[in-house]
Amino acid sequence: MYFKSARFSLIVFLILLFANFCYGEIPRPYTSAVFTDIDNDGDKDLIVSSSSYGSTSNAIRILINNNNLYFIDETSTRITGSNSTVTEKVVVGDFNEDGKPDILAVNSLSVANRLLLNNGSGQFTEDSSKVGDTYNNIIIPNDEDSSISATVADINSDNKVDYIYIANDGGQQNRLYIYNTGISKFADKTSLNLPSFNDYSFDAAFGDLDNDGDVDIFVANGKDSGVVNKVYLNNGSGSFSAASTGFFPQDTDFSSSVIIKDFSGDNKNDIFVTNAKGQQNRLYIFNSGTSEFEDKTANLPQISDSSWSAVAVDVDNDGDYDIFVANDGQDKLLINNGSGHFTEGTLPVDDDYSSGAATGDANGDDKPDIFVTNFGGNNRLLINDGTGVFTDKSADMLPHAITGEIALSGGSKSATDVTVTLSGDKSATTNPVTSPGLNNGIYSFEEGLEQGKNYTVTPTLPGYIFDPTKADFTSLSQDEVQDFTEATYTISGTISLSGGSGSVIGVTVTLSGGDSATTNPGSDGKYTFSGLEGDKDYTVTPTLTGYAFTPTQKDFTALSKDETQDFSGTASVTNLSITTTSPLPAGKLKKAYSGKIEASGGTTPYTWKLASGKLPPRLRLNKSTGAISGKPTTRGTFKFKITVTDSSSPAKKTKSKQFVIKIK
């Protein structure tokens, strides 16, 4: 099924990109909303649903209207019990005859629908004993269908719910529950009062379609292969049968929602259907002459968007119903001329993936405003000036969130071990959540944050330092994102050598303590250890055979910044000696000769000289290297003394040794 698979694919996509979101709160799949006065103070609050797909997020959010100025998220203090599920739609009504608005949460993916009962002061409790238990306390029957939508009807104008119709996806039978006043509960009348069918239903609406004074049902169906929409007519006692073929035009569009209202101004209900997959939405007008519906889609602007929901409301105060359409892309406003002909109005520009809409007076000026739910993005609030001109006041009136990512670079701890603290004008703590395949965690503060207030977010975990250490938000006026990464630092420096024949690239620099590593300096003597965790202890030690370093090592305790440490190595001084033994290799007359006298100890460089005796004629001593070379011209045995002098300071050292070369 397209929308469900599209939703699921989007959720997977969002999970994979959680760590990289760049604006607003964590992408959340919001699905529907309702305006109602939750706290009985005379203004309109909001109930918003989201398909959290089993996460720990709140599937239903309660936004309380603060004196028509802005909304505050009070979910955690308004809902008691579990609030994590796959809620596709919320429906408000009095389900237990106490005169208070309750919440029916419509859940998909074979999760049972939920009933949240209002205690009268806007506190909701999910009482599972009221949903299909075995103790005869059933208010609504239990089911674990894949439900997408629901609609309710008050058939006797007593402000209490009499009918509940559940639209199920996945080829499952839709359900009809009828209230039994004798036992104060809803009875499942699906098998008795509904035709048997297994469509792919996205939405349904109650309304009197045949003008006989009772409510009928229109069902919006959608599937890739095409399933026609259905009309079920009420016999007057709550038993429904399929309307005749000619009563309603048939189509195989991918329908996603339906509205039943009098759009043509003849006091007869008409039907507006939204279609997805780029198909034109449809308008059906009741023809009193034939007592059937006619396809009047030509009365609509030509729109090829994917539409997922719509609301009917008189936005321009001219006495007829206009239509707001929630699209995957720019939403649309359809203005009614009073006889069911619509032209396209103007809305603030958006490119959201809109999934639902609700209408109500958000700012107390008695004009209908529109709240738009977005799938995987920020919801929007459009304020009406009374003439159908809307201004996006989301930033000014909707709750703001502070969210972000926590990233750890190593160690045994997980991002879920981090405590993220909110302070300032509200205090709260949370631990980041992770998703399969992700090492980083996502934190979120979404509840109780108010416009213009000051907040600070600080992550803590023993043994870890974060960058930044905290984030301040002054006069909060929009959704904010702040990522925190585990702070890593660098220890670097330069190695220099004096004396001896060693090279800096031969020095081994060892890191120990909070991490272990070795490195060799470059030819410029520079070494670096990077990516070191903060608040750990480290020791750096250079070594090279024949050299003593100052300092011998350097300790860094609870590393909290980049550090620099240079080391100088001095060649160890030993007694000067000539290590080459006599006699030197023999040579041949007039043949090239090569020999070398070696020394050790003392301080390089060395200087060589012939102290006494004679070398074979035409052989020469290199004073810098101690090499003897040339082509001897005389046979014989030649004895001589060589002296080496080092570069010690202040007094140079010398050493002499007798040598013999035989020329054959």
Domain membership of residue 305 (yes or no) is: no
**Whether residue 529 is found in the same domain as residue 559:** yes
Euclidean distance between CA atoms 136 and 126, whole angstroms: 17
**Whether residue 513 is found in the same domain as residue 589:** no
**Whether residue 565 is found in the same domain as residue 616:** no
Domain membership of residue 408 (yes or no) is: yes
**Whether residue 454 is found in the same domain as residue 516:** no
Domain membership of residue 254 (yes or no) is: no
Exposed / middle / buried, residue 610 (Cβ in 10 Å: 0-12, 13-18, 19+): middle
**Whether residue 427 is found in the same domain as residue 477:** yes
Reported as a single tens digit per residue, the pLDDT across 196-211 is 888 889 999 999 999 9
Average pLDDT of the residues of the chain? 88
pLDDT value for 209:
98
CATH number at residue 605: 2.60.40.10
Contact (Cβ atoms closer than 8 angstroms) between residue 195 and residue 240: yes
* Domain termination residue (choose one: 571, 591, 626): 571
Q: How many domains does the chain have?
A: 3
**Which residues have a Cβ under 8 Å from the Cβ of 409 and sit 6 or more positions away?**
485, 486, 488, 531, 533
* Domain termination residue (choose one: 571, 586, 617): 571
Domain membership of residue 25 (yes or no) is: no
**Which residues have a Cβ under 8 Å from the Cβ of 203 and sit 6 or more positions away?**
148, 149, 151, 167, 219, 220, 255, 256, 257, 258, 309
Domain membership of residue 602 (yes or no) is: yes
Confidence band of 293 (pLDDT split at 50, 70, 90): very high
Of 47-56, 180-189, 358-367, 543-552, highest mean pLDDT: 358-367
Which token pair is 132?
A: 């299909």
Euclidean distance between CA atoms 470 and 466, whole angstroms: 8
Confidence band of 118 (pLDDT split at 50, 70, 90): very high
Reported as a single tens digit per residue, the pLDDT across 493-533 is 999 998 877 899 999 999 999 889 999 999 999 999 998 98
pLDDT value for 651:
87
pLDDT value for 8:
35
Domain membership of residue 35 (yes or no) is: no
Domain membership of residue 430 (yes or no) is: yes
**Whether residue 515 is found in the same domain as residue 548:** yes
Percent with pLDDT over 90 in the chain: 65
For residue 190, give the 3-state DSSP assignment: helix
Region 272-279 average pLDDT: 94
Confidence band of 146 (pLDDT split at 50, 70, 90): confident
Res 87 pLDDT > 80? yes
**Whether residue 498 is found in the same domain as residue 439:** no
Question: How many degrees, rounded to 5, is the angle at CA 307 between CA 304 and CA 310?
Answer: 130
Res 2 pLDDT > 90? no
**Whether residue 445 is found in the same domain as residue 456:** yes
**Whether residue 582 is found in the same domain as residue 658:** yes
* Domain termination residue (choose one: 452, 486, 520): 486
Res 542 pLDDT > 60? yes
End-to-end C-alpha distance for the chain, whole angstroms = 102
**Which residues have a Cβ under 8 Å from the Cβ of 601 and sit 6 or more positions away?**
573, 574, 575, 576, 577, 646
Which range of residues forms the domain containing residue 603? 577-663
**Whether residue 470 is found in the same domain as residue 539:** no
Confidence band of 395 (pLDDT split at 50, 70, 90): confident
pLDDT value for 182:
72
Spatial CA neighbour of 88 closest among 10, 13, 167: 167
Confidence band of 437 (pLDDT split at 50, 70, 90): low
Domain membership of residue 95 (yes or no) is: no
pLDDT value for 129:
52
Is the full-model pTM beyond 0.75? no
User: What is the CB-side half-sphere exposure of residue 183 using CA atoms within 13 A?
Assistant: 11
CATH number at residue 564: 2.60.40.1120
Exposed / middle / buried, residue 22 (Cβ in 10 Å: 0-12, 13-18, 19+): exposed
Res 212 pLDDT > 60? yes
pLDDT value for 1:
32
